[in-house]
Amino acid sequence: MDNLIDVRGVDLVRDGRLLLDQITLSVAAGELWALLGPNGAGKSVLLRLLATYSHPTRGYVEILGNRLGRVDVFALRPLVSLVSAHHPVRSGRTTRELVLTGATGTLDLAARWAPAPAESARADDAIALMGLSGLASSRWSVLSQGERSRALIARGLMGSPRVLLLDEPTAGLDVAGREQLLASLTALRAREPELAVILVTHHLEELPPGTSHALLLREGRQLAAGPADQVLTSDQVSACFGYPVTVTRHVDRWICTARSPDFEGSALR
């Protein structure tokens, strides 16, 4: 199977700081990767690198068969869509208007620009897929945090991406908002089974059903990467977060609970 993303021996240095240290990663079509680690581990830094918004200092990154530094990144970006809660949105913008900005890759709709029929249909389809049809005309200012997260994902789908990068999409959501978003992601993957998804989070409970692979980061270094059931073990997650935890799996969801602070397992030695 050809990989959509190949990262080999990547270091990233900024202002004299080593932010990523020897990262190696391969992502194939249809895989759902969880990127986990504590604050400051380098998760969002790595995601922006995969989204072509930075280049490695050492090593190489290949995206859809194109090596960064040898390709027009503007041609790649519609196919590798980065969705972040930090995306700036004017409060008066409606859900549908926001989603349509994904067709042009801009922060706002250009004056006198009108979407083509195919773009309008794709926007409506993405809005429906994210469970927002009833909110298509609602303004950004009245949307809940969960509705905003789903609207931004709908925007990210406008370019028909092959890779979807989600930077903490469930941050700040209550239980209902989180579960609605995860249900929308499950529906998306059922509809587009070849889409590769990489999702950043701090919490195993926020991993969508069907999470196939995981990468653990700590202080910019890769502790483990591979099939989720091999990576998301109690010892390895404890080492990643620097605290003793027990990781269990129920049906298709992950659960992380604290162990006694005097735990002396090998993960923290």
pLDDT of residue 266: 45
pLDDT of residue 267: 44
- Tokens coding 41: 């581990």
Q: What does the pLDDT average to over 198-203?
A: 93
Residue 235 has pLDDT above 90, yes or no: yes
Across 56-70, average pLDDT: 94
* Ranges of each domain in the chain: 3-268
Q: pTM value?
A: 0.91
Return the percentage of the chain with pLDDT > 70, whole number: 96
For the chain, list the strands marked E by DSSP.
3-14, 17-28, 32-36, 58-63, 66-67, 80-84, 163-167, 196-201, 213-218, 221-227, 245-250, 253-258
CATH of domain 3-268: 3.40.50.300
What average pLDDT is seen over the chain?
91
Cα–Cα distance measured from residue 53 to residue 166, given in angstroms and rounded to the nearest whole number:
14
Over range 58-74, report the average pLDDT: 93
Structure confidence at residue 125 as a pLDDT band (50, 70, 90): very high
Place of tokens 């040898």: 70
Residue 46 pLDDT > 90, yes or no?
yes
pLDDT at 245 over 60: yes
**Beta strand ranges found along 112-236 (DSSP E):** 163-167, 196-201, 213-218, 221-227
